[in-house]
Amino acid sequence: MTPNIKPLIAGNWKMHGTSASLSSLEAMATGFAEAASDADGVICVPATLLERAAGVVEGSSLQVGGQDCHPAEKGAHTGDISPEMLSDCGAIYVIVGHSERRADHGESDGVVADKAKAAWRAGLIAIICIGETEAQRKAGETFNVLEEQMAGSVPAGASATNTVIAYEPVWAIGTGLTPEIADIEAAHAHIRQHLRKQLGAETADSMRLLYGGSVKPGNAGDILSVENVDGALIGGASLKAEDYLGIVGSVG
Ligand SMILES: O=C[C@H](O)COP(=O)(O)O
């Protein structure tokens, strides 16, 4: 954790969830404030659930977000969703540049940056994801990859109020594998240091840096106590209220 930065515990339901899942969201909303009084929480649900999800969390400390957005406000883009549409449904955050979108949809750093700027245009907080693949890690390229992704995906104008950075080693996502604590610490320190050069120290030192990749109730305490880890981006364990609240409860 970083002193003076309010942690964010973000869930990403990915392509999971139907109407029946809203009862689980309701349990998260009900239990959130008791689990952690000094953290922000968001669940990024599928767009199909967003408006109803916003209704479910209304009045609680939990917020909802989208998982992706198109850079344009509107237009002939069949199947896409603009950040303005997400905001209209009650989203406060939107994830951009998740590695699954970079891999499945060929999203470049430039596209991710355009999406982040579009999120800001709509008044949303962009959760910009970066992270190395297993091959890049084995080749000793982790820091270079992170620097390149930050330079390309984090636009000028990023601030602590409009942007959150999520470091997700691709090989740790959904695998049950996590880096050594020392490796998480080193990566987050490197990200903070690079952001100082890119955005200025004042902005970089107040920006939330999340760790993502196989965060569970059992390892959240150790991960969240690492310096420069200001929260988590959680996939699988954000689907069950008990697991998500268990992680929220690990905020020191
Ligand atoms: O967005 C969330 C991440 O991809 C982490 O997913 P996971 O917690 O299932 O490993």
Query: What's the pLDDT score for residue 129?
Result: 98
Task: Classify residue 170 by its DSSP letter.
Answer: G
Q: What is the mean pLDDT of residues 123-152?
A: 98
Average pLDDT over the chain, rounded to an integer: 97
Binding residues are 12-14, 174, 214, 235-236
- The residue whose CA is least distant from atom 7 of ligand 1 is 235
Burial (CB count within 10 angstroms: exposed 0-12, middle 13-18, buried 19+), residue 57: buried
Q: What is the pLDDT of residue 3?
A: 79
pLDDT for residue 46 is more than 90: yes
As a whole number, mean pLDDT of residues 158-171 equals 98
pLDDT in tens, 79-126: 999 999 999 999 999 999 999 999 999 999 999 999 999 999 999 999
Measured from the CB, is residue 215 less than 6 Å from ligand 1? yes
Percent of the chain at pLDDT exceeding 70: 100
pLDDT at 252: 67
Number of H helices, E strands in the chain: 11, 8
Instruction: Provide DSSP, 229-252.
Output: --EEEESGGGSSHHHHHHHHTT--
CA 212 to ligand 1 centroid distance, Å: 6
The closest of 86, 157, 93 to 124, measured between CA atoms, is: 93
Tell which one of 215, 240, 244, 247 to mutate to probe ligand 1, the residue whose CB is within 8 A of the most ligand atoms.
215
Which of left, alpha, beta for 165 (phi over 0: left; psi -120 to 50: alpha)? beta
Supply the pLDDT for residue 100. Answer: 98
Task: Give percent helix, percent strand, percent coil of the chain, each to the nearest 5.
Answer: 45, 15, 40
Domain ranges of the chain: 15-90+98-248
Q: For residue 82, how far is its CA from the centre of ligand 1 (angstroms)?
A: 23
- Determine if ligand 1 sits within 6 Å of the CB of residue 11: no
d(CA 210, CA 167): 6
Q: Is 66 in the pocket of ligand 1 (CB under 6 A)?
A: no
For residues 239-244, give the mean pLDDT. 98
Identify the pLDDT of residue 36: 83
**37 has pLDDT over 90:** no
In short, whether 212's Cβ falls inside 6 Å of ligand 1 is yes
Atom of ligand 1 at shortest distance to CA of 236?
9
State yes or no: pLDDT of 168 exceeds 70: yes
Q: 183-239: per-residue pLDDT in tens?
A: 999 999 999 999 999 999 999 999 999 999 999 999 999 999 999 999 999 999 999
CA separation for the pair 164, 192 (Å, rounded)? 12
| pLDDT of amino acid 244 | 98
Q: According to the model, what pLDDT value does residue 2 have? A: 84
- Best of 15, 44, 102, 214 to mutate for ligand 1, by most ligand atoms within 8 A of CB? 214
Question: 15-90+98-248 maps to which CATH number?
Answer: 3.20.20.70
> What is this structure's pTM?
0.98
Residues carrying an active site annotation = 98, 168
